Amino acid sequence: MVAGASASGVRGRILDLMFVRGRIEEIRPAPGRMRWIRVGGVPGLAWTPGQQVRLHVADITAARTWVSGAVRHALRTYSVWDYDADADVMELCVMDHGADAPGVRWLRDARPGREVVFGKPEGTFGLRPAAYHLFAGEETASVAFGAMLRAAAPGEPVHGVIETARPEDRLPLPRGDELTWRHRGDASAAGSQTLVDAVRGLELPEEPGIAYVAGEARTVHAVRAHLVGERGWPRRSVLVKAFWTPGKRGME
């Protein structure tokens, strides 16, 4: 608890000044190692599909968080899978990537009724006007892609490759049947040649569209190198967002 904040009402007011507070309404298994988390009681969020929130995976008002040093890893970033402004509900889709890490521990401890604290939606990873949209990424990236594909106008052409470990790990993406799916099996998603090769193999229109490339850092840079270096796309037409990479903690 923050010094001087003896009543829970004070704690709440402090948090409400700077962050958004909601409650977990439901946790549902998602494909693969992911889980959907419905967070209710969050009215009036200004959210653009593709944006993310910074989730408090530790209680920054608790003395133990500061004393233990956990405050250094109190925030983790997750894309918003969907936001229902009528129901005041935000939905996340979080992967248990297997490491003993703060985000994974938060996910494993998550229960209906538990308070959730997060920063307002942020980020510039969102649809841009383009002749067509090109998506490339793995499981974690497909959370943001799901929101963006839902937001794309029906007539707007979409292309892309989604890589998952196995076929059963695919998130149900809107217009997912218009995308190419690739499976890496037991190989790592880090520095994935599977994804780069699949993007290289796509039949795309002559002119560039806008590419949205997200996921593991080395992989996304390799996809950009292919689009810019081999296909001649302008760098500004390739939006890249590194979500994680081996050995780094909390990329944003």
CA angle, 121 then 123 then 124, to 5°: 135
Query: Minimum Å distance from CB 15 to ligand FAD?
Result: 21
Question: Nearer Cβ to ligand FAD, position 61 or 77?
Answer: 77
| Spatial CA neighbour of 222 closest among 204, 240, 249 | 240
Query: Can you say how many angstroms the Cα of residue 78 is from the centroid of all Cα atoms in its chain?
Result: 4
CA–CA separation, 24 and 216 (whole Å): 28
Q: Contact between 166 and ligand FAD (CB under 6 A)?
A: no
Site membership for ligand FAD, residue 93 (CB under 6 A): yes
Shortest separation between residue 97's beta carbon and ligand FAD, angstroms = 4
Smallest separation (angstroms) from ligand FAD to the CB of 100? 8
Residue 144 beta carbon to ligand FAD: minimum distance, rounded to whole angstroms: 6
Nearer to ligand FAD, 131 or 251 (CB): 251
| Dihedral of the alpha carbons of 9, 14, 15, 17, in degrees to the nearest 10 | 120
Q: How far apart are CA 248 and CA 234, in angstroms?
A: 29
C-alpha–C-alpha distance, residues 21 and 18, integer Å: 10
Looking at the Cβ atoms of 57 and 161, the one nearer to ligand FAD is 57
Asked if 140 touches ligand FAD (CB under 6 A), the answer is yes
Q: Residue 202's closest CA among 149, 160, 141? A: 160
Q: How far is the CB of 110 from ligand FAD (least distance, A)?
A: 13
Which residues of the shown chain bind ligand FAD in the complex (CB under 6 A)? 52, 76-79, 93-95, 97, 99, 101-104, 123, 140, 143, 241, 243-244, 246-252
